[in-house]
Structure 1
């Protein structure tokens, strides 16, 4: 893309991510990517959701459709600036503008010549680059001054910041809902957050510079790849010729061996034939002599002599008749070998395969850009902490309250509702073998108990409703993602169970509601115990914690990223609306900050905590932490 400069100052040359042109009525999505309204309208035609073409984030369209999306007020509509510099194509006689330059030919090319250049076999390997046009007399667009935000309740401009609620308020709000909260002028917090965002922006710029460097390296790798492929093609052709010659030599050698063997067999058998003929000749002479003497005895002997010698003479004649010589000749016979099989020839000749990929852990973590995150830049501020007599095993937070799962030898097992200050709100239900709390509101709980996931309604008419029953859930940890999908991992079977519960309860288990996804061998080798937590990020990745590994998967449960730290034990996970992922490290008593792609960014400073077991976030935005000593700590963060 051509880049315009004016007096070495940057000009806003960001284009629509769909049409790659200047914005027309730009729309700002929740993922902070900007597109033209006509482009978005065409993209979501006939759909209820919008998938961002750049980051693949899924956005649900409002009731008004595209018209209900937020407009981006900081970009002026219009066409891109025109250049007063014209570069003519050097490949053809037309006076078309040149758009690219062939380094090998040292010639400027227009669109048609550039297209022909890329298609022709002779020029296909040439290296081309986009022509950068230098523009002058560019008048930057005027920036619109945004209107001040006002309170929806009192219609008064925001002037204060409530530290307890982590939100902007007006002067009237202080006297009502935020009467006892700690507040300060909004200007201070605004400036602090602007500084944090500027710091993050500077890192993004450095990341863009790093991407440019990687792009140049990829071009260098591309050229080397072309060169390596050409060398291998020549090597294969040479190998083919050598293989043909080798095969022909082997064939000739085998033919000579077989011909020599035929000569040897022929020589042996001819000798046998000659010997047999000699034996027959001797036998003939023997019989002729016997015949002559016998005939003389019969004709000339007297009666007594004939009678006395009859028995012996007759026996001699009988034996001579019975004696017989057999001819044994073994003529050579050529036995054809096995037919030349394609697979056998391929094994002998060789075959092409991809080179070995680098180790996935090193590949994923070799280029991580540490983005100064809003949550990690400032230490969290403690709102409240409380200690429980019973052992805290799990908690489900709803608004500013929490359902806490207790295990008490003396008073029995139960699930109890507590306030933000830790006080008992008087709402307690039997545990009933509940192992996990999957979802919680003030009046409703989704819990897992052995192979059953059920909904418990708390109130005047408390009741229980079975959501789904699955034998494969036994001995696993189940987690809720996408609001209507329950996921569990089987260590023994080495596959994920995914149950769709978006229908009438109890769910009927069949091919449409239950998916069993086998995992690749590498993932099965990493996950040797049942995952402590599984969650889904804003970028639609699946993150799970298992011992000293944080494993990020795509939505097809294929490995996307792996973070491993020896000596750690990663447990609880929670996310926030900004895409941050907080994961507690039980052994090091730290909270690790990851982005939604599973890249480790840095540690979050939280003082005075040890052996952190679990972490979650309430709807107000506060972070709840639980440690092994049955303490619950509540923090707010910027």
Structure 2
């Protein structure tokens, strides 16, 4: 295969983007080389035209042409690779397939071997095998059909053919090894071991293929989710920008209106004040004239003249009633100032709340879980328990929101026998089934030491014991003292803790079921890639007292929204 120099050449012919040998190579102005399609796609997906290697930015997108020199070198390199790979493949095939085993003694033209001697560890043709038939010492040697790589088929300790396999120690054995050191071990023939291991490889290959398919499906689902997320993110940005732009426009409009109204009111007040002042000045002039006349009249000593000059009408001129006029512009300004300040403060509070929500969204997983829970809670449904499905040892509250184990007696009475009831599991279903939708409900479990909660199909087995395994028609988590396991996989813990309130979310079409610790917004477990073909009913099992006092009920509670 390739030498170190070839490896260096191979590195030089790899495109930095696709990591494969150049196809239609082009060179950027900064001197780096890429496949034409790779650099074109890269620039199509980035807002700035720059080199992926050195990050040099180009104001104008370069008009790239295929570098014929690098293209010819890459073609020659690929030709050498194909030739080397062909030679290597042919040599490997020849070595693996083998063909006829040749005589180890022949010096000129090698003859085909007819036997291999385990003691001599040599293969012989008819001519060179003749001493083993004639010589007394050689007659005792063990002859077998011709074997390639004979030295690898012989036990180094006993010089016997390796024909057995120890499954305990995973080693090849000769018959002496099996008798002396592997008496109590599981020893089988090499042929049987070969078949079993081939079968194991087949099973493993099938599992690997299944794992590949599962991961491909996950990748596809993730890509679809990313695409959906991109679309939704663009919508949120567009709507948010539009709403905020509209809000800014409304604020600017209010600002202009405020300035306009305040200036108009101020102008009206000034005009009113000017008019009042002008009237007052006129009245002052008239009053001053009146005061002069009164002084002259007062100084008259002649009684006859005084009485003849005394006016018949009022001594005072006509004036404005000052009590009917008020100018309290200061009070109006203070009122509008307080009102405006209150409105602005409320708007600032709303903006701060919005900024807080945006900041929370950019924080850690706990906040993401809170966001996820808030999303799920919008699909809240009203769950009422179905007494016809309840086990005889369970009692239900009158409103169908609580169920507990009562050993045949309790505050709410014993359930009547019904063909739809569970006879083995201490379980009850909800009255309403769901399909082709999303739904969410919450259950208060308090300090119970054991319970089981989830969803079940309408056809779930109700008579006798329900087998715990995939395909049983029940997707549930089972709580035991301080740990969780799924109903379908017993004795396999999936979560630890002791929550008081559980949130259950089902995405029927998406094939997913989530269980959350409602207080801490922690995901307990999620069933994924489920395939539902019938309606799903909420499943409740308060369990018995196997792990201590456990008589408290499971309570379906209204959803309290996440803050």
Q: Normalising to structure 2: TM-score of the pair?
A: 0.32
User: Which of the pair has more CA radius of gyration?
Assistant: 2
Q: Which has the higher strand share?
A: 1
Q: Normalising to structure 1: TM-score of the pair?
A: 0.29
